[in-house]
Structure 1
Amino acid sequence: MLSIIYGDVKNSIYNTNVYFKNSYEPEWLEAELAKKMIRDIDDSEVLSGECINSPVLGQIPPERLSGGVKTLLLILNEPDRIFNASTCGDNCAKWILEIGRIKDVTINLRHMMSFGKDIKFEIKVQNGGETAHSMKELIPIANKYLNEMKQE
C-alpha cells in the first residue's frame, strides 16, 4: 500500500539525486518495471544496468536519468526508506501508485501531486491516519497538512 506523509519529515531523504548516485545498483535498471518507467518518463531504453539510450542525449549512465525516474527507482528498490517524491512530476504519479500496489512504501510530498481525476486508488495519509480513494477525497486531506506546513 502507498502511504504519504505531507510536509517535512525528519528521516526523509530529500536530495534523491545525490542519494541515487551513491546507492543505486545496476540490476535495478534491468527489472521489467524499471524499464517500463524509464521508457514512459524519459522516453529512453535500458541497454544494460549501466547504459541507457536517450533519444535526446544518446547513450547515458543511470546518473543522467531524470530526477523523477531516479526517485521512482529508489522508492521501488528501497521501500523501507522515505523519499521526497516532490522531485517527481505528475507524470510519475501512476508509477508511484503501481509501486504501492506491489509493495508497502511511504513517500514524502511537499506539494499536491495529481494521481488522476478518474483514478481509483488507496492511499494512507500518515499525518492523521486518513485513507483516500480518489483525488476528490485526497485533495482536502493533503491541503490540510500542506497548509499546516506553510504556517510553521
Structure 2
Amino acid sequence: MLTIIYGDAESSIYNTSVYFKNTYEPEWFASELAKEMIRDVDDSEVLSGECINSPVLGQIPPERLSGGVKTLLLMLNESGKIFNASTCGDNCAKWILEIGKKKDLTINLRHMMSFGKNTEFEIKVENGGEIVHSMKELIPVASKYLNEMKQE
C-alpha cells in the first residue's frame, strides 16, 4: 500500500539525486518495470545497467536520468526508506501508485501531486491516518496538512 507523509518527515531522504548516485546498482535496470518507467518518464531506453540511450542526450550513465526516474528507482529498490517524492513530476504519479501496489511504500510530499482525476487508488495519509481512494478525497486531506506546513 502507498502511504504519504505531507510536510516534513524526519527520516525522509530529501536529496534523492545524491543518494541515487551513491547507492544504485546496475541490476536495478534489468527489471521490466524499471525499463517501462524510464521509457515513459524520460523517453529513454535501457541499453545496460551502465548505459541509457536518451533521444536528447545520447548515451548516458544512470546518474544523468531525470530526478523523477531516479527517485522512482529508489522507491522500487530501496525498501523501508522514505523518499522525497516532490522531486517527481505528476508524470511519475502512476508509477508511484504501481510501486505501491507491489509493496508497502511510504513517500514524503511537500506539494499536491495529481494521481489522475479518474484514477481509483488506495492511499493512506500518515499525518492523520486517513485512507483515500480518489483525488476528490485526497485533495482536502492533503490541503489540510500542506497548509499546516506553511503555517509553521
State the TM-score, normalizing by the size of structure 2.
0.99
Output the CA distance in 2 between the equivalents of 1:67 and 1:29.
16
Output the CA distance in 2 between the equivalents of 1:123 and 1:7.
16
- Provide, for residues 67-124 of structure 1, a one-character-per-residue CA deviation record: whole Å limited to 9, x for no partner: 0000000001012000000000000000000000010000000000000000000000
Output the CA distance in 2 between the equivalents of 1:13 and 1:104.
17
Output the CA distance in 2 between the equivalents of 1:26 and 1:6.
31
**CA-atom RMSD in angstroms:** 0.4
**Matching residue of 2:110:** 110
| Aligned-partner residue type, residue 35 of structure 2 | K
**Matching residue of 1:78:** 78
Please state how far the C-alpha of 1:30 moved relative to its aligned partner: 1.1
Asked if structure 2 preserves the Cα contact closer than 8 Å seen for 1:79 and 1:106, the reply is no
Match status 1:93 vs 2:93: yes
| Aligned-partner residue type, residue 6 of structure 2 | Y
Output the CA distance in 2 between the equivalents of 1:4 and 1:95.
14
| Divergent runs of 4+, >2 A | none
Map of 1:11-90 to 2, 5 A cutoff?
Answer: 11-90=11-90
Output the CA distance in 2 between the equivalents of 1:59 and 1:53.
4
Output the CA distance in 2 between the equivalents of 1:130 and 1:79.
23
Output the CA distance in 1 between the equivalents of 2:88 and 2:30.
21
Match status 1:143 vs 2:134: no
| Aligned-partner residue type, residue 95 of structure 1 | W
Aligned identity (percent) is 83
Report the secondary structure of 1:124's partner residue.
strand
Asked if structure 2 preserves the Cα contact closer than 8 Å seen for 1:7 and 1:149, the reply is yes
Output the CA distance in 2 between the equivalents of 1:14 and 1:119.
27
Output the CA distance in 1 between the equivalents of 2:107 and 2:79.
9
> Structure 2: any 5+ residue segments left out of the alignment?
none
Output the CA distance in 2 between the equivalents of 1:24 and 1:35.
15
> Structure 1: any 5+ residue segments left out of the alignment?
none
Please state how far the C-alpha of 1:2 moved relative to its aligned partner: 0.3
Asked if structure 2 preserves the Cα contact closer than 8 Å seen for 1:117 and 1:135, the reply is yes
How many aligned positions are there?
152
